[in-house]
Chains A and B, each alone.
Chain A
Amino acid sequence: MEKTVRETIKDITRIHLLEKKSMCFGQCLTAVGWVGGTLPELYEDDGMVEVATSDVANGGFVVGAGLKGIRPIYVVRYQGFQWYNAPIIINYACKSKEIWDIPCPIFIRSIAMEGAIGPVAGSSHHSLFQRMPGSKIISPMTPKEYEFAYQEFMKDDDVYYVSEHRRSYDNFEELQDVIHEDSDFTLFPISITRFDAEKARVILKEQGYKVNIIHQLWIKPFEFKDEWKLALNNSKYGGMVLDDDYEEGVASSIAHTMMLSSDKRVYTFGLEHRTAGFHPDVDNLPPSPEAISEKVKSIILNKKI
C-alpha cells in the first residue's frame, strides 16, 4: 500500500528532528494519538517540545526558535486556535526579514477539521494569514504535495503556513486536474473541498454538465497560470473558488484576481457567514458535493441560491 499523508508527515517530522536537529513545538503533542498519528514517538531530548497552555506566548517561543535558525515546526491542532497563536508570528516572524534582514522560517502545521467542534476550533483559517505580508500559504492534501511543501520550505526562508485537514490524513492518492476544451464550468477547490469537488464533478457529469477541476495547492503567493486562465475563459458559465474557510477571505481574493485577468465571472463557495454550533443542526460545514453541484447548476441555469 502506498504511503498516506499521515505517514508522510510523520516521516518528514522524524527526519526534521533527528537528522536536521530541529525542533517541533506544540501543545499535547505526546498525548494519546500523537496529533492524529502524524508525529513519531519522540520526546524533548529529540526535539519534540511540549509547550505550556499559553497559546499567544507559544507562538512567540517558536518565533524565538526561528530567529536562531533552527527552522522549527509548530503544530497548531485546530486552525481556529490561530487567532491566539498567530499574533507574534504574523507581527514578528513574517516581518523580521523585511525590517531587520533576519529571516525567521517556521513551518506552521495548522490543522483543520470540522463537525461538532463548535464556534472556535472548526474549519480552516488560512485567510487570517493571507492578508498580512511575509508569509506563504500552501494547502497540501496528498503525500506528494506534502513532501513538496516541506522541500519548498527547506529551500526558502519565509514563514510557511501549511493549511492541513484531518480528513486528508488517510489519503494516499494524488489529485489530478480535469480540464475540458469546451467545459460548462470550472471549479477551483482549496483544502478539503478538493475531494468533494471531485464528487460534485461526477454528479454533474451524470446530469450532462462538463465541469473542470483545477486544484489549488498554493494559496499565497497565488499565481493564476495561463492554462487555468484559458480553461476559465473556455468555460461557458465561468468558475467558482471553493474553500473550507469563510468566503470573505482567500476565496474572494482569488476570485477577484481571476476575474481581473479573465472575461468570466468567478463565484465563491465556502463557509456560511455565521458562527458554527456543536449540534449538526447548527454546525457550519464546508460545501458538500451535493451543495456544490446544486450551486453550479443554479449558476448555469441562472437561478439564485
Chain B
Amino acid sequence: MNNIRLEIFKKASLCRNFENELYKKVQDKIIKFPVYLSAGQEFIASSIAVKIQELNIAPDIFIQHRGHSTYLAFGGDIYSLIDEMLGRKSGCANGMGGSASIQCKEKNIYGHDGLMGNQVPIGVGACFASKTPTIVFVGDSAAEEDYSLSSIGWASTKKLPILFIVEDNNLSILTEKKVRRNWEMHDVAKGMKVLSYDIKDDPMEIYDHLKNSFNEPILLNINTVRKFWHAGAGKDEENFDRYEEEMNFFGKEGREIDEYNNKLVLGAWKKQLEKQ
C-alpha cells in the first residue's frame, strides 16, 4: 500500500510545487488576473487519479474553478497550463480560460466557465448521453447551488456511472459552511439514494472509498484545507498541511520527490517565460 501512497504523493508534489511557484508569480505581478490556487487540496485529485490509472479507464472529468491540481494530477500538460496563465494562444484553453477555466482535451478534462456548480448538471448530462464513467469535482459552496443538488438527484434516478467529489474546504471565499447551511452534502445525497461518504483528504482513505466507483452514482464529501486565499496570493491562517505530513512520512524519499518537482516546475516556468 505504501507504493500507492507514494504514487499519490508524487502527483501531489507536482501540484503543490506548481501552486507554490504560481503563488510567487502572482506576488511578483507576472500574473495579473485572479488565480484560484488549489494548494492544500491536492491529495484529492492525486488519489483519484492514481485509482483511475489502476482501473485503466479514461473517464470524463468535469473540473471546478479551483482546478490546477486536478488538471496536473490527471496528466494535463504543465507547459500548456503555464501558457494559459500567461494568456497565450498556446495555453490549454487558448489563453481564454485564465486560472478558472482550464481544460485538457487529451485527458477528457472539460473546462469550467465560472458559473459555480454548473459542472454538476453538465457532467450528469454528458454521462447520461454517453454512459462514460464520469467524475465531477465541485466545491462545498458550489455544491449548494440548486442545480447541483437537483442534478445529483437525477443522476441517482438514472443510476449513472458517475462520481461526485465535493472538495470541502469549509469556505465560500471566507464564509464558513456553518454560516451558510445546517446540513451536509453527504446526508442530502444519501436522501437521494446516492452512496455517500464524509471523509478526510487522507490519500489512502480516499483511495479505499473508490472501490465500487462507476457502478452507480457515488458522492464523496472530502474534508480538506485550502492553503492560500480564495483568489490571488495570500495565505489563509496557518492550518494543518497534509502535504507536510505526507512528505515527512516518506522521509528522505519524500524530500527528494519534492525537490525533483520543484526543479521540474521552475524549469518549466523558465522555459515558457523565455519564449516571450
Q: Does B59 contact A (CB under 8 A)?
A: no
Q: Does B111 contact A (CB under 8 A)?
A: yes
Task: Return chain A residues, CB-CB under 8 Å to B24.
Answer: none
* A99 near B154: Cβ-Cβ < 8 Å: no
* A99 near B125: Cβ-Cβ < 8 Å: no
Q: At the interface with chain A, which of B26-34, B89-97, B218-226?
A: B89-97
- Candidates A49, A61, A70, A91; contact of B115 at CB < 8 Å: A91
Task: Return chain B residues, CB-CB under 8 Å to A91.
Answer: 113-115, 118
Q: At the interface with chain A, which of B44-52, B145-153, B178-186?
A: B145-153
* A92 near B118: Cβ-Cβ < 8 Å: yes
* B151 near A60: Cβ-Cβ < 8 Å: yes
Q: Give the complex CA separation of A92 and B110 in angstroms.
A: 11
* B126 near A67: Cβ-Cβ < 8 Å: yes
Q: Does A238 contact B (CB under 8 A)?
A: no
A54-75 interface bits toward B, Cβ cutoff 8 Å, 1 = contact, 0 = none: 1011111111111110101000
* B115 near A100: Cβ-Cβ < 8 Å: no
From 80 to 119 in chain A, residues with beta carbon under 8 angstroms from any chain B beta carbon are 87-88, 91-92, 95-96, 98-102
Given contacts A52-B157, A57-B154, contact A92 B94 (CB under 8 A): no
Q: Give the complex CA separation of A214 and B251 in angstroms.
A: 79
Task: Return chain B residues, CB-CB under 8 Å to A65.
Answer: 125-126, 128-129
B118-142 interface bits toward A, Cβ cutoff 8 Å, 1 = contact, 0 = none: 1011111111111010000000000
* B97 near A60: Cβ-Cβ < 8 Å: no
- Candidates B124, B148, B150; contact of A64 at CB < 8 Å: B124
* A56 near B147: Cβ-Cβ < 8 Å: yes
* A98 near B96: Cβ-Cβ < 8 Å: yes
A145-187 interface bits toward B, Cβ cutoff 8 Å, 1 = contact, 0 = none: 0000000000000000000000000000000000000000000
Given contacts A52-B154, A65-B125, contact A100 B103 (CB under 8 A): yes
Residue of B93, B122, B123 ringed by the most chain A CB atoms within 10 A:
B122
Given contacts A92-B122, A99-B113, contact A52 B150 (CB under 8 A): yes
* A61 near B101: Cβ-Cβ < 8 Å: no
* B129 near A64: Cβ-Cβ < 8 Å: yes
> Shortest Cβ distance from A75 into chain B, in angstroms?
15
Q: Does A51 contact B (CB under 8 A)?
A: yes
Task: Return chain A residues, CB-CB under 8 Å to B147.
Answer: 54, 56-57, 60, 88
> Shortest Cβ distance from B163 into chain A, in angstroms?
15
- Candidates B94, B127, B151; contact of A100 at CB < 8 Å: B94
Interface bracket on A: 20 to 34
Q: Does A23 contact B (CB under 8 A)?
A: yes
Which residue on chain A has the smallest CB distance to residue B131?
A68
Q: Give the complex CA separation of A52 and B125 in angstroms.
A: 12
> Shortest Cβ distance from B144 into chain A, in angstroms?
13
Residue of A62, A87, A96, A99 ringed by the most chain B CB atoms within 10 A:
A99
Task: Return chain B residues, CB-CB under 8 Å to A67.
Answer: 110, 122, 125-126
- Candidates B101, B105, B128, B146; contact of A56 at CB < 8 Å: B146
* B150 near A63: Cβ-Cβ < 8 Å: no
Task: Return chain A residues, CB-CB under 8 Å to B129.
Answer: 23, 64-65, 68, 70, 72
* A62 near B125: Cβ-Cβ < 8 Å: yes
* B96 near A54: Cβ-Cβ < 8 Å: no
* B96 near A99: Cβ-Cβ < 8 Å: yes
* A59 near B121: Cβ-Cβ < 8 Å: yes
Task: Return chain B residues, CB-CB under 8 Å to A58.
Answer: 121
From 2 to 41 in chain A, residues with beta carbon under 8 angstroms from any chain B beta carbon are 23
Q: Give the complex CA separation of A56 and B148 in angstroms.
A: 9
Q: Give the complex CA separation of A63 and B103 in angstroms.
A: 16
Task: Return chain B residues, CB-CB under 8 Å to A57.
Answer: 120-121, 124, 146-148, 150-151, 154
Q: Given known contacts A52-B153, A54-B153, what 6 new A-B pairs fall within 8 Å (CB)? A: A49-B128, A54-B147, A61-B128, A64-B121, A65-B128, A100-B111
10 interchain pairs (CB within 8 A)?
Answer: A52-B150, A54-B151, A57-B121, A61-B125, A64-B129, A88-B147, A92-B122, A99-B101, A100-B97, A102-B103
Q: Which B residues contact A (CB, under 8 angstroms)?
A: 93-94, 96-97, 101, 103, 105, 110-111, 113-115, 118, 120-130, 132, 146-148, 150-151, 153-154, 157
